[in-house]
Amino acid sequence: MADAVEPTGPSKSALKKAEKQAKMAAERAAKAAKQAALPVQTKKADNIIGITVSKAEDFPQWYQEVVLKAQMIEYYNEISGFYILRPAAMYIWSAIRKWFQERIELLGVEETSFPMFLSQTSFEKEKDHVEGFAPELAWVTKAGDKPLDVPVAVRPTSEAVMYPYYSKWIRTHRDLPFRLNQWNSVVRWEAKQTTPFLRAREFLWQEGHTAHLTEELAGKEVLQILEYYAGIFEQLLAVPVVRGRKTENEKFAGGYYTTTVEGYIPANGRGIQGATSHCLGQNFSKMFDIKVEDPVTKGKHINVWQNSWGLSTRVIGVMVMVHGDDKGLVLPPRIAKVQAVIIPVGITKSTTPEERANLEKKVAEIKETLSKSGVRVETDWREGYTPAWKFNDWELKGVPLRIEFGPKDAAKDVVSWARRDTGEKGTTAIPEIATAVPELLETIQKDMYDRADKCFREHRLQLTNWDEVIPALDAKNVVLIPHCLNGACEDRIKELTTGTPELSADGQTKAPTMGMKSLCIPFEQPEGIKVGETECLSPECSRKAEQWCMFGRSY
Amino acid sequence: MADAVEPTGPSKSALKKAEKQAKMAAERAAKAAKQAALPVQTKKADNIIGITVSKAEDFPQWYQEVVLKAQMIEYYNEISGFYILRPAAMYIWSAIRKWFQERIELLGVEETSFPMFLSQTSFEKEKDHVEGFAPELAWVTKAGDKPLDVPVAVRPTSEAVMYPYYSKWIRTHRDLPFRLNQWNSVVRWEAKQTTPFLRAREFLWQEGHTAHLTEELAGKEVLQILEYYAGIFEQLLAVPVVRGRKTENEKFAGGYYTTTVEGYIPANGRGIQGATSHCLGQNFSKMFDIKVEDPVTKGKHINVWQNSWGLSTRVIGVMVMVHGDDKGLVLPPRIAKVQAVIIPVGITKSTTPEERANLEKKVAEIKETLSKSGVRVETDWREGYTPAWKFNDWELKGVPLRIEFGPKDAAKDVVSWARRDTGEKGTTAIPEIATAVPELLETIQKDMYDRADKCFREHRLQLTNWDEVIPALDAKNVVLIPHCLNGACEDRIKELTTGTPELSADGQTKAPTMGMKSLCIPFEQPEGIKVGETECLSPECSRKAEQWCMFGRSY
């Protein structure tokens, strides 16, 4: 599978510092929250449990605080580069898993589970993989206190684990299409700076590995899967993506071609690879001797056409980065475990037990009505916390809709609500909530997508003047430029757009600005390129442009 | 978690031989099947694709052939002791996962994902674990070509990985009950003989880890989970189990008490641990400093009460062993991916295209009717195979119901069917299949359970005479005996029931017969023990019996 975790560029030290600060802030906040749990001290905690920096001002620290404080992630202190996925993250991953699994089952993809280890000998069969993955392999060299005769590595991906068996199992063309998928975790012991979800030394993913009789059939599946990946981003996570093909430089090593969905992080203007669906061509089937008798020209044997495709927990990080704000996480309703939270308000010292009992009864009715309408709803009756503290707490956790209900609302037979995404407030008559709340949640889902889509479109600049490229990147855009699709030209473009290290005001050397790399060749090509006429935009390139290629600083 | 994979006893060489034979047989069969795939040679393959030995005569080889030929398992040749779980196995595991996941979600258990590695330093905190698991740990000592500063081990279970964070996350009694579960794989690099499903160096399981305020609350959950485990065996896999508590000797090291569901393998009369639900007491919470303020006597802090519980893919192996027969796998309908297969019959060289088209139409209608009734049904229109070959093939794979349909059936407006479990044949009028077939599948499910339950009951002998013990074991029974529950006595009973190696007819040393060990103290206690009066059945024990304890040769 393609490297699901792409380089983050030269801001290592900044990230490291941010990570440390985030940890310290988290520890302070945890301590404060522990105190806040005691009824007498709730007020004090109000300002501390939230995010301590602004997304605009210090994006790396903001991100680390959000994933920690919204309880998606815990740092695994014992071994660096590993993270614990907490229920708030696993709920989303399970929702994605269910959505995708249903669809691939209909395609006829079956589930499998291969061992997590790869022996040194079998790994060496695949030259391209050895080169690509060798520096990141975790090697088991002993069991108990006995050294292993042949060391084994934890899989970084499973081509070399699985394909020897494809050769055994695929016996006739009637076994095709042959499609297996597994949900597992893989290990890539990166030396680079790790980031929760985006780059971890172990991550959860699914990896599909299929075989087909013809290039056409394989190609059809590649696009079908890519469309499902796009669906996960667009329909579940409310994150827009650009579908396209990777350049030769960026494609899966050893494969034939790679298709991809590419996302965009507005806060820093970087592109980010979302998920990839590869056609491996016949390269692997030749290496692993996977062939069948040609049903047309009997007697002749042909190597099968293979695909592999993977989507990882990275998608959760992209969602957090795109939608989160200074109050914390913002969840799209479709993947929120709690879509609406009811917070009773207006209870004071002068509230009588009868009044309270009455309120409790009405809140229970509201909750039941919403549950029956399919809304995932919780009520927050926690004692010893002010409504304001609770508002902050649920905002931090990203719950899409807050419903407030107190004696004043009861008197008017309404609920008051506040949208997490926009902060917009309103009231809805109780007899209408059964239909209005589910509709409102779908509106939130749609609005979140539309806003993110508008933002991505506005920051995808179609340029035909090289001088505008670096200013566009500095203004947090990705760019679409006419390009020759030559690998060397692509490498040179990266160099040309990399800034030189500077001395900052305090005398420290500032890291150079990141160069741009090709993100994809979008399937949807704007007009304007005349084949054989239009020139490649690189100032040093004398080739003609082949297509519009999307470039950007990237993860 | 308790050792989910129990010792198989002294029949190593026999198993090794059987494994080798199974592999060779499988290779022969694969070769034959490959030839059989060519239309001209189908007849020849009829006798070869099936199981080559009888379950009664050579149980180990029979088992290996069944799991291989029914395409549940593939041996992972690259590293011994590892197995590939193929779709036929993963479908069952997914069905179990779904069933269990739904239930624990309702209990409030949330999903999590902890890293697969454990650092050497954190592991050493838990003394009992170190002793128990150290010999089986797979150690990662280098990443790429660089040695790690601190080696890390692949988790054999996750107590030591998770509990440091429980200490951090559980802050007040309001955080209780605190319940997390993860579905993953663990590695125990056993030196012992491995067997597909029952004992593998890597296996899939779920591990639940929960914390409670009181012993009573923890204890209630232990039994609730155990009941779900029993449900997986009884309701899904049609396998009877005995619920009970493990003796001190057999309980989870470091825990407080262990409850278990114990199964029985009729073919060799051995007991087998099905799944375990442990109360860890406060032992781990003291080691890992997991405590909350006592809500009753404010100010005082109490350590939480913890449970852990796990169920692994071993359950699939138990199901295969209990239900399989000389034709191969026999699947209970509720976990069968294909519950009924329609095989068109009576098509000869003289069948006209019109007749065939008519048959195809009717078969399609039957299939649609059954699908709409919720039956998972397939039609086998494969060309070039005789109906007899197809019958064998689907029998090998364990499909619960075969439906035959040909011109003769069409004339009578019936389908003919054959039950996989009993071989019973019958016909059903087509207008009735929508209700009759689902009912028949439920009847098969119930009958499979009832037969297995009757068999287990008949082979659970309640004995009060020591002299009857070894003959009972030799006659493939497990035994219920009055026992003092003393660990040393239990050890001695194992020795007393272990046979001495004998010289067999051909001059080879035969392995000694396996001694019996305690399987559990059943919750359902027969009458007959007078506390303080009844003596422990062991001839060398002078203590009084405490309870009836189930002993047996075991996996």
Residue A424, min C-alpha distance to chain B (Å): 31
- Contact flag B118-A78 (C-beta cutoff 8 Å): yes
At residue A44 the predicted structure's pLDDT band, cuts being 50, 70 and 90, is very low
List, in sequence order, the alpha helices (H) in B210-264.
215-231
The per-residue pLDDT for range A89-104, each reduced to its tens digit, is 999 999 999 999 999 9
Residue holding tokens 């695994």?
Answer: A76
Residue holding tokens 């997390």?
Answer: B180
Max distance between CA atoms of chain A, in angstroms, equals 91
Structural contact between residues B318 and B274, judged by C-beta atoms closer than 8 angstroms: yes
State the Cα–Cα distance between residues B267 and B259, nearest whole angstrom.
25
Q: How far is CA A80 from the centre of its chain?
A: 21
State the Cα–Cα distance between residues B224 and B277, nearest whole angstrom.
9
Q: Tell me what the pLDDT averaged over chain A comes to.
A: 90
Mutate to test the interface with A, among B96, B133, B137, B142 (most CBs of A within 10 A): B142
Report how many Cβ contacts below 8 Å link chain A to chain B.
Answer: 163
The per-residue pLDDT for range A385-413, each reduced to its tens digit, is 999 999 999 999 999 999 999 999 999 99
Q: Report, as an integer, the average pLDDT of A317-345.
A: 98
Residue A90, min C-alpha distance to chain B (Å): 6
State the Cα–Cα distance between residues A437 and A443, nearest whole angstrom.
10
Mutate to test the interface with A, among B41, B69, B78 (most CBs of A within 10 A): B78
State the Cα–Cα distance between residues A153 and A137, nearest whole angstrom.
6
pLDDT at residue A129 is higher than 70: no
Looking at chain A, how many residues does it have?
Answer: 555
Q: Is B169 helix (H, G, I), strand (E, B) or coil?
A: helix
Question: Phi/psi of residue A205, each to 5°?
Answer: -160, 180
By DSSP bridging, strand A73-75 and strand A83-85 are: antiparallel
For A55, the enclosing helix (H) or strand (E) is: none
At residue A424 the predicted structure's pLDDT band, cuts being 50, 70 and 90, is very high
Whole-number percent of chain A with pLDDT over 90: 81
Enter the tokens of residue B258: 């262990």
State the Cα–Cα distance between residues B534 and B544, nearest whole angstrom.
6
Q: Average pLDDT per run of 10 along chain B, which is 555 residues long?
A: 38 51 56 44 48 95 97 95 98 98 97 95 68 89 93 94 96 95 96 93 98 98 98 98 97 93 98 98 94 89 97 98 98 98 93 93 98 98 93 98 96 97 98 98 98 98 97 97 97 93 66 90 95 94 97 96
pLDDT of residue A49: 72
CA distances from A212 to A176, A259, B131 (A): 6, 17, 50
Structural contact between residues B370 and B377, judged by C-beta atoms closer than 8 angstroms: yes
Of A78, A139, A202, the CB nearest to B119: A78
pLDDT of residue B500: 77
- Contact flag B85-A154 (C-beta cutoff 8 Å): no
- Contact flag A202-B138 (C-beta cutoff 8 Å): no
| ipTM (interface predicted TM) | 0.90
Question: Phi/psi of residue B371, each to 5°?
Answer: -55, -45
Lowest mean pLDDT among A77-81, A479-483, B48-52: B48-52
Of B90, B135, B137, the CB nearest to A112: B90
State the Cα–Cα distance between residues A333 and A370, nearest whole angstrom.
14
pLDDT at residue A345 is higher than 70: yes
- Contact flag B78-A122 (C-beta cutoff 8 Å): yes
Structural contact between residues A233 and A241, judged by C-beta atoms closer than 8 angstroms: yes
What is residue A469's DSSP assignment? H
Residue A504, min C-alpha distance to chain B (Å): 35
State the Cα–Cα distance between residues B240 and B232, nearest whole angstrom.
10
Q: How far is CA B198 from the centre of its chain?
A: 7
Structural contact between residues A107 and A101, judged by C-beta atoms closer than 8 angstroms: no
What is residue A554's DSSP assignment? B
pLDDT of residue A122: 72
- Give chain A positions within 8 Å (CB) of B202: 115-117
- Contact flag A79-B184 (C-beta cutoff 8 Å): no
- Contact flag A172-B37 (C-beta cutoff 8 Å): yes
- Contact flag A114-B84 (C-beta cutoff 8 Å): yes
Q: Select the more confidently predicted residue: B142 or A21.
A: B142
**Nearest Cα residue to B105 out of B230, B235, B218, B208:** B208
Structural contact between residues A72 and A90, judged by C-beta atoms closer than 8 angstroms: no
Contacts of A420 (CB under 8 A, 6+ apart): A330, A331, A395, A398, A399, A400, A401, A402, A444
Of A134, A141, A185, the CB nearest to B141: A141
- Contact flag A137-B122 (C-beta cutoff 8 Å): no
- Contact flag B79-A119 (C-beta cutoff 8 Å): yes
What is residue B470's DSSP assignment? H
> Which chain A residue has its CA at the smallest distance from B160's CA?
A78
Of A91, A112, A185, the CB nearest to B116: A185
pLDDT of residue A3: 42
At residue A460 the predicted structure's pLDDT band, cuts being 50, 70 and 90, is very high
- Contact flag B74-A168 (C-beta cutoff 8 Å): yes
Of B90, B116, B164, the CB nearest to A111: B90
Looking at chain B, how many residues does it have?
Answer: 555
Could you give the count of Cα atoms lying within 13 Å of A513 in the half-sphere of its Cβ?
16
- Contact flag A144-B134 (C-beta cutoff 8 Å): yes
Q: How far is CA A154 from the centre of its chain?
A: 23
What is residue A325's DSSP assignment? B
**Nearest Cα residue to B151 out of B105, B176, B118, B197:** B118
- Give chain B positions within 8 Å (CB) of A134: 144-145
Residue B187, min C-alpha distance to chain A (Å): 9
Mutate to test the interface with B, among A112, A122, A378 (most CBs of B within 10 A): A112
For B476, the enclosing helix (H) or strand (E) is: none
- Contact flag A141-B143 (C-beta cutoff 8 Å): no
State the Cα–Cα distance between residues A422 and A330, nearest whole angstrom.
10
Residue A228, min C-alpha distance to chain B (Å): 22
At residue A139 the predicted structure's pLDDT band, cuts being 50, 70 and 90, is very high
Q: Report, as an integer, the average pLDDT of A519-548.
A: 96
Question: Phi/psi of residue B407, each to 5°?
Answer: -55, -35
Structural contact between residues B370 and B434, judged by C-beta atoms closer than 8 angstroms: yes
State the Cα–Cα distance between residues A70 and A81, nearest whole angstrom.
20
pLDDT at residue A455 is higher than 70: yes
Structural contact between residues A198 and A555, judged by C-beta atoms closer than 8 angstroms: yes
Distance, first Cα to last Cα, chain A: 17
Residue A244, min C-alpha distance to chain B (Å): 32
Of B30, B85, B161, the CB nearest to A113: B85
Whole-number percent of chain A with pLDDT over 70: 88
Residue B319, min C-alpha distance to chain A (Å): 19
State the Cα–Cα distance between residues B519 and B554, nearest whole angstrom.
8
**Nearest Cα residue to A143 out of B72, B475, B431, B140:** B140
State the Cα–Cα distance between residues B31 and B45, nearest whole angstrom.
10
Q: Is B292 helix (H, G, I), strand (E, B) or coil?
A: strand
Structural contact between residues A138 and A189, judged by C-beta atoms closer than 8 angstroms: yes
pLDDT of residue A509: 66
CA distances from B51 to B29, B68, B194, B432 (A): 9, 10, 21, 35
